[in-house]
Amino acid sequence: MKILTRQYHTIRSNYRKLQHIHFPGISSFQHGLNIQQLLVDANLDYKSLEFKYRRIQRQRLRSKSEVSPNDLEGFKRIGGQYFQLERGGQVTWHGKGQLVAYLILDLKCFVKLSTKCYINNVLLKSIQNLLKKTYHLDSVVGVENPGVWIKDNKSKSSSESLKISSVGVRIRHGITEYGIALNINPDLKYLNTFEMCGLKNKRATSIHKQLSHLPVPSVEHVGKLFVDEVALALEMNSVEHINANSL
């Protein structure tokens, strides 16, 4: 049986290049939000923004009641900041050793690219392809629990999985904001101390945790691999990798 795969491409001939802007060093979360908003408002070429953040917790605005006062105090005790955002998803964590990539696209300019397809077939599928091609790691996209998951080989249960990547987006007038977080080599205690993404009794893992015998890949290197996979999924002709310090 032949399996058909659908590729998505822009209907604007001048929008066949994806710009990948890497922000070296540690960025403040507010700085990342400001940069994203500036580019969204400018409605420029399609871009992927890559950041490394300090310890922060974030959640969607409408889920404020889901965070207990004890959890808020816990965030402060570990030296983290707390933000509420207008995006999908629940509480999550960002910090050192984690790739955070925001993709800014106009979905109206693509053929048959719905919100669901964008999340599953572009963002999450690109992470799966990256993990498989580069690190030979098999993963699945969660159906009930969004994100990318890897089988827990240490668990007695064959169905137990560990979360290696989360997703949270906002789409306004067809323009995408926010994106994914992929665990490369973060301190997993920050992800496993609190209930992340509203998932009880679920734990996180990372590329380095799964492949501890290999050198730790840099966030910048993994970011380039991810953006290359996104461009491939969208049938874009090229990727322009840019260091933000050169702008």
Instruction: Find out whether 147 is annotated in a ligand binding site.
Output: no
Instruction: Find out whether 91 is annotated in a ligand binding site.
Output: yes
Instruction: Find out whether 167 is annotated in a ligand binding site.
Output: yes
Instruction: Find out whether 89 is annotated in a ligand binding site.
Output: yes
Instruction: Find out whether 223 is annotated in a ligand binding site.
Output: no
Instruction: Find out whether 166 is annotated in a ligand binding site.
Output: yes
- Active-site annotation holder among 35, 127, 162, 197: 197
DSSP the chain: -PPP-----BS-TT--EEEEEE--SPBPHHHHHHHHHHHHHHT-S-EEEEE-B-SEEEEEGGGGGGS-HHHHHHHHHTT-EEEEESSSS--EEE-TTEEEEEEE-BGGGBTT--HHHIIIIIIIHHHHHHHHHHH----EE-SSS-SEEEE-TTSSSTT-EEEEEEEEEEEETTEEEEEEEEESS--THHHHHS--TT-TT--B--HHHHTTTSPPPPHHHHHHHHHHHHHHHTT-SEEEEEEGGG-
197 in catalytic set: yes
Instruction: Find out whether 93 is annotated in a ligand binding site.
Output: yes
Residues with a catalytic annotation lie at 197
> Which residues belong to the annotated binding site?
87-94, 166-168, 179-181
> Which residues belong to the annotated binding site for substrate?
87-94, 166-168, 179-181
